[in-house]
Chains A and B, each alone.
Chain A
Amino acid sequence: METDLNSQDRKDLDKFIKFFALKTVQVIVQARLGEKICTRSSSSPTGSDWFNLAIKDIPEVTHEAKKALAGQLPAVGRSMCVEISLKTSEGDSMELEIWCLEMNEKCDKEIKVSYTVYNRLSLLLKSLLAITRVTPAYRLSRKQGHEYVILYRIYFGEVQLNGLGEGFQTVRVGTVGTPVGTITLSCAYRINLAFMSTRQFERTPPIMGIIIDHFVDRPYPSSSPMHPCNYRTTGEDTGVTYPSVEDSQEVCTTSFSTSPPSQCVFTVTKAHFQTPTPVVTDTLRVPMAGLAFSHQPAALGVGSADLAYPVVFAAGLNTTQPHQLMVPGKEGGVPLAPNQPAQGAQADQERVATYTPSDAAHCAATPSSSEDTETVSNSSEGRASPHDVLETIFARKVGAFVNKPINQVTLTSLDIPFAMFAPKNLELEDVDPMVNPPDSPGTGSPLQGSLHSEGSSGGSSGHTHDDFVMVDFKPAFSKDDILPMDLGTFYREFQNPPQLSSLSIDIGAQSMAEDLDSLPEKLAVHEKNVREFDAFVETLQ
């Protein structure tokens, strides 16, 4: 039985397989460039679109593929493999996928080469287009940028699946039977991606400090030492704050849980220090938001020592990494920046009270002159204060309009960071000899009142100044290098509006009582004017 192909068919088949291999590589690599692919349909055949599909040919990729094939074709035992791997900016790399174009011995002698085989190869390429968007590496490759890039490597010979880790999965794209063997296209992909992230972050110190802003184009510079916390520098050169705001590392809020009530805020009160202002920081619970970034055009890079080619250079992957914790020293100048490892230790980060005994002592020694502290919200900031101490008042809003006794709030709320300091500081305030306001005690009470209202508005106020570490606050979407007044500054300046007087317990209670008393009078007045009101209502209808 004549089963051999005639020479024309054989030549055609070889050509088909060769170009199929080249197109396969193009599809795979282009799918990992990190951007959406779009090609146009054309009703008139151009003659150069193999398999009737518009697949662009990136010259470097073709060159590499041809080099790897070296004139050979996939055959039994000789497969063409495209390896997709990920390489971080620190140099760690990890294989993500291996795409294999294999040939086995099972022949389909009956099949027509120029027609059926060609069309089936075309169908297989379409399947490849669909499948390349479906494996996990696709989403990774769409998000590549500063943190990592996706590389590819083509080799010919035996398939090596060792680098994929344990438990890798395989997906078969399809098969096409030919008279010389069956072509199989498949992909083995790693599923254990978690390995990568922990490994990466364990080995490398976080270079970025806190990045809440996911969309910054440039990699964040390494954290500078101490920075003032967010305070309103009245009387001080406001220009000073802005540069520090840029690379300040503080955060003002702790965990905002999804359930509305508990929200930890701190307000900063300002006073002058002779020595540079201490940094007050707080912990930030930064969610590992994964891979978020902004797109930039891809560029194919060429040439690396080990035949792996970076597929894209795009900008800006930012993972939010836990903040750097800065503890103010006594002189206010010593930065302590323990770099916290990212993901694994995230849970531990949540309430880290990084204070040292020396700082606590400092705290006690510093006259916590509450009357001198001016809350940011307080409009009377021009007031001279004998002790120009930069302090923070830690206020916890338990919920709007909730009036709770201060101590109760602090003791029961376990999730305020530094909660244990809050009541203590109140006590300090009470015993402090300097608490006496400069004015007479009578007029001192509004101040006290405002402080109390501050506290009673929802929570514990405390002078938790030196015990807190300030972390940078970089709001998402803000660009801090263009305008001096950016979102972050705005937020910091206006985050602590003055308490509504009606919310304070005493004043609130009083006014409530007054309101109740005046109700009968008001009702009487309204009844007198009932006709007017009715007429008014009718005009509305």
Chain B
Amino acid sequence: MNCRSEVLEVSVEGRQVEEAMLAVLHTVLLHRSTGKFHYKKEGTYSIGTVGTQDVDCDFIDFTYVRVSSEELDRALRKVVGEFKDALRNSGGDGLGQMSLEFYQKKKSRWPFSDECIPWEVWTVKVHVVALATEQERQICREKVGEKLCEKIINIVEVMNRHEYLPKMPTQSEVDNVFDTGLRDVQPYLYKISFQITDALGTSVTTTVRRLIKDTLAL
């Protein structure tokens, strides 16, 4: 099966990075989360309820909707915070990207570990700009708000193509498809990673790290 890949690009000011990333990631996860499954006899299951809440951005004229799950929000904020710090410390052009990858686990026989097969990857490329005057910042607030509106519309468009989604799993398989670790919602299995692009256009640190990790995992 092919992995669906979507790329979004945003140009934001330094302090808008967090909120812009959270807005995009939460919107995607809103569509890719269900209520908790409760399996009953005979292979049937019932699904819990997903609540939503509006989040106003402080540095952008924008409001986004996220799933009402503090655990999920915390997890996202943590990784977005790391991304923001990495961007700031890189001292480069302020280019970076985050990837939200939805995958399925496929059990392999020993000694091989489980395979992670992505079926959808969302990449958000960020370009950080530095602004000089307050007026520019004010304009940036509005502009980025409008851009994010467009991104949300793009995301919704992709979501509603109703392309491949993993089959609803049986009880034994549910952990291969969904992240059942959260208390109140159940998103599809996902992982988030990020890269900082240096001036040469190559991503340095994280690629090396990932290579090492992958080698060791085997």
Kindly provide the distance from the CB of A212 to the nearest chain B CB, expressed in whole angstroms. Answer: 18
A127 CA to B61 CA, complexed, in Å: 20
Interface string of B135-162 (1 = CB under 8 A from A): 1000000000000010011011101101
Q: Which of A130-138, A366-374, A463-471 forms part of the interface with chain B?
A: A130-138
Does residue A479 face the partner (Cβ distance < 8 Å to B)? Answer: no
Does residue B185 face the partner (Cβ distance < 8 Å to A)? Answer: yes
- Contact check, B35 vs A43: say whether CB atoms are below 8 A apart: yes
- Give every chain B residue within 8 A of A37 (Cβ-Cβ): 52-54
A43 CA to B182 CA, complexed, in Å: 10
- Contact check, A126 vs B184: say whether CB atoms are below 8 A apart: no
Question: Hey, which bits of chain B sit against chain A, CB under 8 A?
Answer: 27, 30-31, 34-36, 38, 46-56, 61, 63-65, 67-69, 133, 135, 149, 152-153, 155-157, 159-160, 162, 168, 183-185
Does residue A279 face the partner (Cβ distance < 8 Å to B)? Answer: no
Kindly provide the distance from the CB of A273 to the nearest chain B CB, expressed in whole angstroms. Answer: 43
- Give every chain A residue within 8 A of B30 (Cβ-Cβ): 126, 129-130
Does residue A382 face the partner (Cβ distance < 8 Å to B)? Answer: no
Given A130-B27, A131-B152, A131-B156: A45 in contact with B35 (beta carbons within 8 A): yes
List 15 extra interface pairs beyond A52-B49, A126-B52, A130-B64, CB under 8 A: A43-B183, A44-B38, A45-B38, A52-B48, A54-B68, A120-B162, A127-B159, A129-B52, A129-B65, A130-B65, A131-B152, A133-B152, A172-B157, A174-B160, A258-B135
Does residue A139 face the partner (Cβ distance < 8 Å to B)? Answer: yes
A120 CA to B46 CA, complexed, in Å: 16
- Contact check, A54 vs B51: say whether CB atoms are below 8 A apart: yes
- Give every chain B residue within 8 A of A41 (Cβ-Cβ): 35, 48-51, 67-69, 184-185
Mind listing 24 A-B residue pairs with CB under 8 Å? A36-B53, A36-B63, A41-B50, A41-B69, A42-B184, A45-B48, A49-B49, A52-B50, A53-B50, A54-B49, A54-B51, A54-B68, A123-B159, A123-B160, A127-B156, A129-B30, A129-B52, A130-B31, A130-B64, A130-B65, A130-B152, A133-B54, A133-B65, A175-B160
- Give every chain B residue within 8 A of A541 (Cβ-Cβ): none
A53 CA to B65 CA, complexed, in Å: 13
- Contact check, A40 vs B68: say whether CB atoms are below 8 A apart: yes
Q: Which 9 interchain pairs have the tightest Cβ spacing?
A: A174-B160, A38-B53, A39-B51, A41-B184, A36-B54, A54-B51, A41-B51, A43-B36, A49-B49
A129 CA to B155 CA, complexed, in Å: 13
- Contact check, A174 vs B159: say whether CB atoms are below 8 A apart: yes
Give the residue name and chain of the B residue nearest to A53 (CB): B50
| Main secondary structure on B side of the interface with A | mixed
Does residue A238 face the partner (Cβ distance < 8 Å to B)? Answer: no
Does residue A124 face the partner (Cβ distance < 8 Å to B)? Answer: yes
Give the residue name and chain of the A residue nearest to B186 (CB): A43
Interface string of A322-353 (1 = CB under 8 A from B): 00000000000000000000000000000000
- Contact check, A127 vs B69: say whether CB atoms are below 8 A apart: no
Does residue A379 face the partner (Cβ distance < 8 Å to B)? Answer: no
Q: Contact check: which of B50, B54, B63, B183 meets A54 at CB < 8 Å? A: B50
Give the residue name and chain of the A residue nearest to B153 (CB): A171
Given A43-B36, A52-B35: A174 in contact with B156 (beta carbons within 8 A): yes
Interface string of A167-199 (1 = CB under 8 A from B): 000011111100000000000000000000000
Interface centre among A133, A138, A173, A258 (most CB of B within 10 A): A133
Kindly provide the distance from the CB of A138 to the nearest chain B CB, expressed in whole angstroms. Answer: 7
Q: Contact check: which of A52, A127, A129, A135 meets B160 at CB < 8 Å? A: A127
Give the residue name and chain of the A residue nearest to B54 (CB): A36
Kindly provide the distance from the CB of A143 to the nearest chain B CB, expressed in whole angstroms. Answer: 11
Kindly provide the distance from the CB of A172 to the nearest chain B CB, expressed in whole angstroms. Answer: 7
- Contact check, A134 vs B160: say whether CB atoms are below 8 A apart: no
- Give every chain B residue within 8 A of A134 (Cβ-Cβ): 149, 152-153
